[in-house]
Amino acid sequence: MRRTKKLFTVFTLLYLMLGVWVSAQEADVGPSNGYLIVIGGAMRDPAILNRFIQLAGGPEAPIVIIPTAGSGKHYDKYWSGLRSFREAGLKNLTVLHTRDRTVADSEGFVRPIQNARGVFISGGRQWRLADSYLNTRTHRELLALLERGGVIGGSSAGATIQGSFLARGDSKTNTIMVGDHLEGFGFLRNVAIDQHLIKRNRHFDLIEVIEKFPKLLGIGIDENTAIVVHGNNFDVIGDGYVAIYDNNRIIPPKGQFYFLAPGDRYNLKTRKAFRITRNMRPLERVKEGKWRK
């Protein structure tokens, strides 16, 4: 009888562990219901902001802008950074900013996010966003926004914070890839994001990150370029390139990367790229370094 109970306990634990493993395998890398627009900085192409507005529900949709990555102490409705959003036709904008985690954890502060259809996180230094909001009620409400089908956009620092690993998160300088802040908001699971990729000659920098953390997927995004993420897939929009860093793929030399162009699609779970203008066939690297379709 005692042996039977022990076996039952062992099988129960194995069943639960299997369930957790299966759930982890089935979990989406990106938001299952909502959308992310992850921008490499210097957003000039109106198509990027227009996609954000479309996914949020149009110009009348309530939108929250979070400028906390910037160095300013105070941001309000007169902040000059709102100009591009107003020029794009958005009419219902709320600026949300604090450097006090107690405030960020308060019910009154997060109410605009609860009423929003979209949130946009602007540029600066991503560690400031982590210091203010990581694991607070604000962070949880951002996740809840995605769960109910909303959209979160972010440019430069507002792009990098969306990954689970915080690249360039050091508070001393933005040239240290693995710094004193390592955790992002995790809207994209098991992912590290870099920005201003080609413009600032950063296309080799994420190699250090994925060599130290081999299971991470690295995504580098050039300026005026974005990925639009839903579930396990993203599309590339804008006029630049997106680089993929993946230690699970055999791409010589070790830890190297490959590029996606506007119009390409990528599956974050299978880690395969598709040229959607060519009948969705996968792209493969060959030894010469050229694409075979």
**pTM listed for this prediction:** 0.86
For 194-250, what is each residue's pLDDT tens digit? 999 999 999 999 999 999 999 999 999 999 999 999 999 999 999 999 999 998 775
What kind and span of H or E run contains 36? strand 35-39
Q: Which residues contact 232 (CB under 8 A, 6 or more apart)?
A: 28, 29, 30, 267, 268, 269, 270
**For residue 278, pLDDT beyond 90:** no
The fold of the 34-292 domain, in CATH, is Rossmann fold (3.40.50)
The 8 Å CB, 24+ separation contacts for 52-55 are 52/118, 52/120, 52/151, 52/153, 53/88, 53/89, 53/90, 53/118, 55/118, 55/151, 55/228
Q: Tell me the per-residue pLDDT of 35-88, one tens digit each, with 9 for 90 and over.
A: 999 999 999 999 999 999 999 999 999 999 999 999 999 999 999 999 999 999
Residue 288: per-residue pLDDT: 31
